[in-house]
Amino acid sequence: MTKTSVTRPHELGERELNRWRKLQLADERLANPFLAPEFTLAVGRGRPQTRVGVLEDGRGVAGFFPYEHGMLGIGRAVGVGVADCQGLIHAPDLHWDARELTAACGLSVWEFDHLLAYQAPFADYHVVSELSPVIDVTEGFERYTAERPSLERQLRRSRRLLEREVGQLAFDFDVRDMESLRTLIRWKSAQYRRTGRFDRFAKRSILQLVEDLMETRAEGCTGILSMLYAGGRPVAAHFGLRSKTVLCSWFPAFDFDFSRYRPGLLLLRMLVEQAAAQGLAHIDLGKGHEQYKQDFKTGDLAVAEGWVERRTSAALLRRMTRAPRRYLMDFVLSRPTLRRGARRALRGLGYVRTMG
């Protein structure tokens, strides 16, 4: 029988943290750095409502369930809104019941938006299943590029034009410079405004999280800031997280003045090359329908959005106030014509914001 206790991330001892890391190493599907204890610890430093359910069976600690505990027992996956992978970190033979786990953590509802779809005990609570594009580099960079001749031609042309107009390209995979990070954040915030989307970096907790992870150096979770320069000038940047085998694309950005040269795509190609050279298994691009993800990907991982709900008054209130909006979003996103129309509207809003 499984027993669950709840603790704050910083209260976990080194023995428990090492057990968490070993569970990840035992299952490649759990190797994503968003599932590492270092990510939960970083979230917890900025969001005091962060908790971890520690699952034990007859042999000891068998699982870790990171989440955020909100008002009225409404819980969310840890880092929801920014984390591109969520789930229970568990021993291969662990069995659990989703509602019992939710109850043991004192939750009426547990919401998720990037849940590993293969975790069967949560399957009945999936509302939307989506594909998260990935780039498999286990066959090497030359094999990868050989299978994408059209993309390679486009990027070679972009590189020639950028070098002709600005200067020789240079790439740095791992920049340890906070000023460069601030450059990326400035570009990304401007992109959010242009496209009519919420500026994530306007939230202090997200800014703190990224700055914290920039300093994190662990085998299972390391912050990686990569920069592309043209003639010594930064033109594109990417901040992501990596484990021993996975690099997660998280915050890509570029100088909009050079957008016609596609510097973000040139940087992504260099990331793919470096990932292959360092022996990584794949790059996780995160769910989304952007064309560049379709052009670069080699396959997809299944992720799910939904919620585990118990029969409580708080859960009923949440369903009445939030579910209709979720169903409307799903309806739009599942239909390409409506999705394109929504994006045009957002870009129009972004234009008004920028001009204002």
- Collect all residues with Cβ–Cβ distance below 8 Å to 221 and sequence separation of at least 6: 33, 36, 37, 38, 39, 213, 241, 242, 243
Confidence band, pLDDT 50/70/90 cuts, at residue 325: low
Q: Is the pLDDT of residue 13 over 90?
A: yes
Helix axes 336-355, 178-194, angle to 10 degrees: 110
pLDDT in tens, 23-34: 999 999 999 999
**For residues 256 and 264, what is the distance between their CA atoms, to the nearest angstrom?**
10
The region, left, alpha or beta by phi > 0 then psi within -120 to 50, assigned to residue 10 is alpha
What is the percent of the chain with per-residue pLDDT over 90, rounded to a whole number?
A: 83
Which of 9, 26, 91 has the alpha carbon at shortest distance from 245? 26
At residue 71, the pLDDT reads 86
Determine contact, residues 227/234, Cβ cutoff 8 Å.
yes
pLDDT in tens, 36-78: 999 999 999 999 999 999 999 988 999 999 999 998 899 999 9
Higher pLDDT, 311 or 15: 15
**For residues 134 and 152, what is the distance between their CA atoms, to the nearest angstrom?**
18
Q: Is the pLDDT of residue 307 over 90?
A: yes
Confidence band, pLDDT 50/70/90 cuts, at residue 351: very low
Determine contact, residues 170/235, Cβ cutoff 8 Å.
no
Confidence band, pLDDT 50/70/90 cuts, at residue 305: very high
pLDDT in tens, 249-279: 999 999 999 999 999 999 999 999 999 999 9
At residue 352, the pLDDT reads 41
Q: Is the pLDDT of residue 348 over 80?
A: no
- Which domains, and CATH codes, for the chain? 3-131+301-355 (3.40.630), 134-294 (3.40.630.30)
| DSSP state for residue 138 in the 8-state scheme | T
**For residues 74 and 86, what is the distance between their CA atoms, to the nearest angstrom?**
17
